[in-house]
Structure 1
Amino acid sequence: MNTERMKCLTTPSASKGCTGDTGGWLQPHCERWLKMIRFIGCLCLVSLVGIAYVSYQLCSSSSCLAPERFRLTQSQFRFSPQLKQAAPFPVVSKIETVPFDKIQAGTRFNIIGRDVIVFLHIQKTGGTTFGRHLVKDMSLEEPCICPRKRKRCDCFRPNTVDEQWLFSRYSTGWKCGLHADWTEGANWTGVEFDEFTNCTYNLAHNRQTRMLADLTLAGCYNSTVTTDQHSAERDRIMLESAKQNLARMAFFGLTEQQAISQYVFERTLGLEFANSFEQNNATLSTQAMAELTPFQLERVRQLNRLDHALYDYGQQLLQERFELLKKQDADFKDNWLRVIHPYRSSEVDTVPDYSMV
């Protein structure tokens, strides 16, 4: 009996052999199991079909298919229009960014309203130091709260306990981890410098340009574009896009121009820092560069030529903004002196030549 019962539970066709003294009990029992198995199978099939349908509907109306929709073919890539004439992408956003020229027209950062400062941190450009200034050195009625032994701070709006006015690594943290696009790949520990630079898929090359550019205009990371002509056009589009996005930023700063960056930030957003930014004339990269050969240095410059062009543009743009704000500032002498010498009186005789700044 036990043997026949096991056959019924494991082999559907065995129900025909459930005869004898116990057949009256075994056959209905097997049929119940078969019906249950069929029901569960049908339920699983319906569930899978439903999931596939819902997934298709969601992806067809979202960014799931973005790489295919936005990828440029080689013919499109060759005859790409000027960036200024590029049609906008069909992306609906309720977030309104405020560029520098709109701020100059009268819009100011409203910390008690709905405005939010979003800090785009390009790694290894002094952003960590600037981020600490934002949460620890701002002269505010209600400064950011930075508990000890915590890596994040709470920058609440005045008279609120749940609305933040700052979005940065120090207020929200790294949701995907530190340098997520780097740590998700292979481990480069122990790799020689030449091997690192010769990797054609190295995301360190022109990193600043790539982080600021709209990569969908240049086919994202599509590796099918191989000719020199197409690569040059792709680089041009990326660089122009990065320049335009930089110009749209309400504020940006340069590591080598700490004082000017601080002044432009304060006059643009109407916020002040309690402490001056410190200018260091050497960084950790200075020592690393001293160990490279002239050929290796030239190789680095060539691989990052887009970043060099973007930096030259950034220098010019920051200087233009500084000159504009200085011209509009009736108290420029006092405000500038406070930035470079926060503890000195405005009546000090030794004052820098502002025309040379």
Structure 2
Amino acid sequence: MNRIFKIRFRKKTCSSRRYFRGIFVCLVVASSILILIFLFALHIRKPAVFTLYTCLGSENPAAGLSVSNYEAFLQGHLCKHNFNDSVLNKHRLLDLEGDDVLIYLHIQKTGGGSFGRHLVHNLDVKFPCKCLPGIKKCDCLTKARRHWLFSRHATGWMCGLHADWTELADCIDVWFQHNDAKSRKHRIYHYLTFLRNPVHRFLSEWQHVHRGATWKAARLHCNGKGASLDEVPFCFSGVNWSGVSLDEFLSCKHNLAFNRMTRMLANLSKVNCYNHTGLSQEQVDQILLQSAKENLLDFAFFGILEEQRKTQFLFENNLGIKFITDFQQKDETHASHVEISDEMMQRVLEKNRVDIELYQYAKDLFLQRVVYTEKRLGQTVQEYFNHAQDALENSGADNKNVRKIQHEDEYDNEEEYVEEVNVYPGKGNIQAIR
């Protein structure tokens, strides 16, 4: 009897073990499948914009290797910053017939010329800009004769040739008080700008100067006065710097092409304008970089030259104004064909280190805003444009005759600037706007 019981007990025990082992194997297999599905879903849904890099100095950094923006740029990566929803959500409804005004800060060689033309020729608004052949400025006015756009192509360089943030902040209100409709008592300024890979931007500026551009009519106005020649000497003598080599271009220590984006977006008053007596270059760089970041956060919108589709997506869905024709990505530019030595490239990188820090910060912010907006809309950038294309085709509208916007590597000719010096105030004609 005992023997029979033991045999049965053993059989029952073995059967139980096999049963529990089977359950365990099933659980392991099921868990593995779920993990694979989860990882696959992440791969599908996650836009390929971030790496495991987090930025040095970020609050609550995520797991991953911490590097500086500059180091990440050299490695071809972005490092992720921690932005809260109030920074990522730039959605607003503009009333251009009311108090809202678009202010375009145009930084040289960022693709800003093409974007500026989009603003005057390609916006789907109730009162489009009126542009006449042979006239470089368009009238961008509401029915009540209120200016809704301040830019080179709308008003001209009324705060100076390629006016920076410091110049615009000092000039905009004065200009509008003298030139806008008297019926408008209050204005809300919405700043816009465009950014570009700093290395490509710098090389593009060098090539532009090589062809004869100077921008020497720029006012460089700050704290009520323009920069003196002692503070910012010209890098060349004569009419222009035509034919300048890259080595010469890099050797001029007063070259305003160095870190141009940071300088033009920062509040220069924080470093006593162009007189940096008592401040080290490192201190100046850090103050300007922080100021440029702060100002960029306050901008209603900024685009990225290398991200045309996403730029249009953010503009349309955050400002509530659509473009008539879609932006086109142009990857082939003059700067993309430049061949330089490793030594020269290292010099370019070092001379534009602050701009690289700013660009990496800005591009990460830009791409996080794209993701945030995609979630808010419930559709990706590609789905958004597919839907718009389907709607256009279903409407039967013919979009072929809509004016095409010329996309350039910011190839605006210096001849245009020379012609505009007498129309748009430059250095030595500061009081023209008063």
Q: Give the TM-score normalised by structure 2.
A: 0.51
In the aligned structure 1, how far is the partner of 2:100 from the partner of 2:316? 16
Q: Does 1:317 align with 2:302?
A: no
**Residues in 1 aligned to 2:275 and 2:389: alpha-carbon distance in whole angstroms:** 47
Q: How many percent identity over aligned positions? A: 40
1:317-348, Cα deviation, whole Å (9 max, x unpaired): 001111111111146575332568885679xx
* 2:153 aligned counterpart, secondary structure: helix
Match of 1:80 in 2: none
Give the residue type in structure 1 aligned to 2:369: R
Cα 1:105/1:120, change in 2 over 3 Å: closer
Query: What's 1:259 paired with?
Result: 309
* Residue identity opposite 2:104 in structure 1: F
In structure 2, the residue matched to 1:183 is: 216
Unaligned runs of 5+ in 1: 1-99, 347-357
2:182 is matched with: none
Distance across 1 between alignment mates of 2:99 and 2:107: 25
Aligned runs of 1:299-314 on 2, under 5 Å? 299-314=347-362
1:253 partner SS: strand
Query: Which is bigger in relative contact order (C-alpha 8 A, separation at least 6)?
Result: 2
Give 2:253's aligned residue. 200
Return the alpha-carbon distance in structure 1 between the equivalents of residues 309 and 318 of structure 2.
14
Alpha-carbon shift at residue 215 of structure 1 (Å): 1.6
User: Does the 8 A contact of 1:276 with 1:339 survive in 2?
Assistant: no
Aligned pair in 2 of structure 1 residues 331, 232: CA closer, same or farther (>3 Å)?
closer
Q: 1:148 to 1:173 in 2, by over 3 A?
A: same
More helix by share: 1
Are positions 1:337 and 2:320 aligned together? no
Q: Structure 1 CA distance, aligned partners of 2:316 and 2:376?
A: 13
* Native 8 Å contact 1:215 1:238 kept in 2: yes
Q: CA deviation at 1:141?
A: 2.3
TM-score scaled by length of structure 1? 0.61
Distance 1:110 1:149, change over 3 A: same
Please say if residues 275 and 342 of structure 1, whose CA atoms lie closer than 8 Å, have aligned partners that are also in contact: no
1:54-65 to 2 correspondence within 5 Å? none
Aligned to 1:252, the other structure's residue is in SS state strand
> Closer, same or farther in 2 for the Cα pair 1:274/1:295, shift >3 Å?
same
Question: Could you say if the C-alpha distance between residues 343 and 225 of structure 1 is closer, same or farther in structure 2, counting changes exceeding 3 Å?
Answer: farther
- Which structure carries more strand by proportion? 2
Q: Deviations over 1:124-167 (max 9, x none)?
A: 1011101111111111223211112211111112x33x212111
| Separation (CA, whole Å) in 1 of partners of 2:141 and 2:375 | 33
Q: Distance in 1 between matches of 2:341 and 2:278?
A: 32
Select the structure of larger CA radius of gyration.
Answer: 1
Q: Which residue of 2 aligns with 1:168?
A: 151
The Cα of 1:191 is off from its aligned counterpart by 3.1
Could you tell me how far 1:208 is from its partner in structure 2? 0.3
- Does 2:203 align with 1:153? no
Q: CA RMSD in A?
A: 2.8
Post-superposition CA distance 1:259-283 (Å, at most 9, x none): 1110100111110001110101121
User: Is the 1:146–1:154 Cα contact (8 Å) retained in structure 2?
Assistant: yes
Please give the alpha-carbon distance, in whole angstroms, between the structure 2 residues aligned to 1:312 and 1:275. 29
Write the distance in 1 (CA, Å) between the matches of 2:284 and 2:388: 41
Decide whether the 8 Å contact of 1:209 with 1:238 is kept in 2. yes
How far off is 1:104 after superposition? 4.7
Change in 2 beyond 3 A, CA 1:113/1:124: same
The 1:104/1:297 distance shift into structure 2, 3 A limit, reads: closer
Structure 2 equivalent of residue 128 of structure 1? 113
Contact kept, 8 Å, 2:88 with 2:368, in 1: the verdict is no
For 1:222, the aligned partner's letter is N
2:150 partner letter: F
Deviation at 1:251, TM superposition (A): 0.3
- 2:123 partner SS: coil
Distance 1:341 1:232, change over 3 A: farther
Paired AA for residue 211 in structure 1: M
Q: How many residue pairs end up in the alignment?
A: 240
